[in-house]
Amino acid sequence: MWRMWQHGDLVAAGGISAERLITVLAERAAGTSVDIDPDTIGCTEGLWRVEARWKEDDGAESRALLVLQDDPAPPRLWWLLLHSATRPWSVRDVAPIHRLGLLQVADVCRGDSGTALDDEPMDTSQLSMDTDALNGLLAQALLGVIANTIVQPERTFALLLTSDTAQPVPRPLPGLLNVVILSEASRTRLADQTPPIPGLPAGKLRLLPPPDSALRTRVFAPDDPALDEAVAMLLHRRAYRDPPWVWIRNSAIAQWWDSAASPRRPLLDYTRLHELEHLRAQLSERDAQLRIAQQQRQAALTERDAARAAAEQAHRASPQPPGSVAELEDQLQQAYHQLDERTVERDDLETERDTLIRELARTRGLLAAAQPDFTPETPASEREFDSFAELLEAARHELTSLTITADPRSAEVLDDHHKASAWRRRTWDALTSLNHYARSAATHERPDNFVAFLRSGQPGAALSPSLVAPTESATTLADTRAYRARVFPVSRDTDPSGEALHQAHVRIERWQPPAPRLHYYDDLVTTGTLYIGYLGPHLPIPTFT
């Protein structure tokens, strides 16, 4: 179970008492997805309590305990919410405090740091920046509040700054994750009037953890699984910190909190989450470096071609001063040398990226194994094979969720290449990732396809999604020879003809000939089978074969 707590104070609408507010919440819950057990409503030691259960949108189960206490100086009430769920939280979840309807029946509701809680993002993007206008002053004041909140050393909640062009905008988890919609124009206009507000790329989100968090500030895409992991880490910290003594000294509260505890080791959970965040940041950096390296290599390739064309032209021209030809030949050799250097740099970065993705998958596996009701699987690890035939034989014995029909003779030619070892490692990463994806077909969380699985951040995803092509081009499929080259055997349960077109493939090598490919056929929905039909050099295409 994943548990957390929140507490603070509130003023209920109409200034009603704790007892009346509990009754109102129970009445409002009728007809909703929240199941409030009337038998759990009661008062002990001056604390009113009620328990509730509901299912999240993906079917995960949640339960909560809400405790209210009248303040000696009415109409203020003190509140505590304990919550546990069968999976980590996500920025796409509805906050428990909102599920229970507490914010809807309170005139004012504050968290433990005294910040007002709201279940809607604070949208400052539509406010005019005209400082002569009233709403310009309001915008300046709001941005000032946000800026001062960022640097507040006692802040206990995370801030998620959302670009006004980011979609979808996550909902806040009040008191745990506050969301602010911010335009770049308003941020830069007030940059000299407030404490620094970090830059925010268009369409992106920036997470600002509490000052005492091990996480660092980072930018995410709205659908990045790493954002869910970072939020889960922030909330998970509270899972192993007891609520304040003023609450937990009550035996009923302590018993409920203890019953929601995970039997797994909390330190391992936290350490792995931190490691996961660090690896994701490194991977993002390597991907950026790899894009630059490929651009530099392409530029070097263009320069090489230009130098070669100039040298050939000089040889054909007659008469031509010998010194001019020699100079062009020297430029050509320099261009070849520069191209070789750029190619080595790109290949080194690809190797580093593969290692990081493999380590990321291993860490995800260790983290998942620390959760209750999880069946551990062998984490991804780097394997070395002497040949592709040995690799395929090991895959047939170990990766039992795959049906491997590929002829090992097709891959024999790859064994003599100087990059064969790196290709075999990547092939093993691809096969183990496909095996994990095939296993996921038996669960309700099965992704739509292999690329979605790799992007989902599940344990076992040890390959970059950018290496996977789900389909072939229309030009390739229109060519009879290229089409037939991609047809491989399958069970007659899959296709009565006993063969099927294997369009989907993994690029074991992106650019360098023979550009090996691994072709697979996904029939998990129909027969529960995932075929590996081909491993070897790039198959014929109509463009240059």
pLDDT (0 to 100) of residue 62: 92
The partner residues of 469 in beta bridges, in order of sequence, read 505
Please give the single-letter amino acid code of residue 200: L
What are the residues whose beta carbons fall under 8 Å from the beta carbon of 82, sequence distance 6 or more? Answer: 3, 4, 5, 64, 65, 67, 243, 253, 256, 257, 260
- Give the separation between CA 205 and CA 488, rounded to whole angstroms: 44
The answer on pLDDT for 175 being more than 60 is: yes
Q: Which residue has the tokens 């980011």?
A: 166
Considering only CA atoms, which of 357, 363, 376, 85 is closest in space to residue 232?
Answer: 85
Mean pLDDT, the chain, whole residue set = 79
CA-nearest of 474, 471, 469, 380 to 428 is 380
Q: Is the pLDDT of residue 427 over 60?
A: yes
Q: What is the pLDDT of residues 279-328, one digit of tens each?
A: 555 555 666 666 676 677 677 777 777 777 777 776 666 555 555 666 76
Tell me if 195 sits within 8 A of 208, measured CB to CB: no
Give residue 267's pLDDT. 40
More confident residue, 508 or 275: 508
Question: Of 129 and 326, which is predicted with more confidence?
Answer: 326
Choose between 192 and 89: higher pLDDT.
89
The per-residue pLDDT for 268 is: 42
Distance CA 534, CA 515 (A): 13
Q: What pLDDT score was predicted for residue 390?
A: 96
Whether 138 and 124 have beta carbons less than 8 Å apart is answered as: no
Q: What percent of the chain has pLDDT over 90?
A: 24
Whole-number CA gyration radius for the chain: 30
Strand partners for 273: none
Number of CB atoms found within 10 A of residue 484's CB: 12
How many C-beta atoms surround the C-beta of residue 161 within 10 A?
Answer: 24
Q: Please give the biggest Cα pair distance in the chain.
A: 107
Q: Which helix (H) or strand (E) holds 260?
A: none
Helix (H) / strand (E) containing 273: helix 266-316
Q: SS3 string of 318-371? A: CCCCHHHHHHHHHHHHHHHHHHHHHHHHHHHHHHHHHHHHHHHHHHHHHHHHCC
- Mean pLDDT, to the nearest integer, of 426-433? 92
* Confidence (pLDDT) at 417: 92
Collapsed DSSP state (helix, strand, coil) of residue 197: coil
Q: What local confidence, expressed as pLDDT, does residue 424 receive?
A: 94
Confidence (pLDDT) at 487: 96
pLDDT tens digits, 494-507: 999 999 999 999 99
CB 157, CB 178: distance < 8 Å: yes
Most confident of 159-173, 352-366, 390-404: 390-404
pLDDT at 368: 53
Whether domain 262-374 has CATH 1.10.287: yes
| CA dist., res. 338 & res. 334, Å (int) | 6
Helix (H) or strand (E) holding 225: helix 225-236
pLDDT bin (cut points 50, 70, 90) of residue 115 is confident
What are the tokens at 310?
């100039």
59-85 residue pLDDT tens: 889 999 999 999 887 788 999 999 998
* pLDDT tens-place string over residues 470-519: 999 888 888 999 999 999 999 999 999 999 999 999 999 877 789 999 99
What 3 state SS string does 478-521 have? HCHHHHHHCEEECCCCCCCCCEEECCCEEECCCCCCCCCEEEEE
Span 245-271, average pLDDT: 73
Question: If residue 83 lies in a helix (H) or strand (E), which one and from where to where?
Answer: strand 76-85
Give the mean model confidence (pLDDT) for residues 37-55: 90
Domain 1-112+244-260 falls in which CATH fold? TATA-Binding Protein (3.30.310)
Q: What is the mean pLDDT of residues 224-236?
A: 75
Pick from 98-102, 183-187, 248-252, 352-356: least confident: 352-356
Q: pTM to 2 decimals?
A: 0.51
DSSP 264: S
Task: Convert 156-171 into a string of H (helix), E (strand) and C (coil).
Answer: CCEEEEEECCCCCCCC
Tokens of 427: 């092939």
pLDDT greater at residue 379 or residue 152: 152
User: Quick check: 252 pLDDT over 70?
Assistant: yes
Kindly tell me if the per-residue pLDDT of 135 is higher than 80: no
Best CA proximity match to 327, nearest among 344, 339, 314 = 314
User: What was the pLDDT predicted at 262?
Assistant: 64
Architecture of domain 116-238: 3-Layer(aba) Sandwich (3.40)
Percent of the chain scoring above 70 in pLDDT:
72
SS3 of residue 68 by DSSP: strand
Identify the top-confidence range among 126-140, 182-196, 396-410.
Answer: 396-410
Residue-wise pLDDT tens digits, 340-351:
666 666 666 667
For residue 396, what is the enclosing H or E element? helix 388-398
Q: Does residue 194 carry a pLDDT above 80? A: no
Look at residue 146 and give its three-state secondary structure: helix
Question: Per-residue pLDDT averaged across 388-416, rounded?
Answer: 95
The better pLDDT of the pair 195, 396 is held by 396
Instruction: Answer yes or no: is pLDDT of 532 > 60.
Output: yes
In this structure, what token pair is assigned to residue 407? 């002829």
The lowest-confidence range among 128-137, 211-220, 492-501 is 128-137
Mean per-residue pLDDT, 427-451: 83
Q: Where in the chain is the domain with CATH 1.10.287?
A: 262-374
Which of helix, strand or coil describes residue 132?
A: coil
Contact 457, 229 (CB under 8 A): yes
Query: Mean of the pLDDT values across residues 224-228?
Result: 76
For the chain, how far is it from start to end, CA to CA, in angstroms? 57
Is the peptide bond preceding residue 540 cis, with omega within 30 degrees of 0? no
Q: Which of 173-182, 241-250, 272-281, 414-423 has the lowest mean pLDDT?
A: 272-281
Q: How far is 404 from 388, CA to CA, in rounded Å?
A: 13
What is the pLDDT, as a whole number, of residue 391?
A: 96
Q: In angstroms, rounded to a whole number, what is the distance separating the alpha carbons of residues 40 and 21?
A: 15
Residue 266 pLDDT? 45
The answer on pLDDT for 373 being more than 50 is no
Out of 3-7, 50-54, 266-270, pick the least confident: 266-270
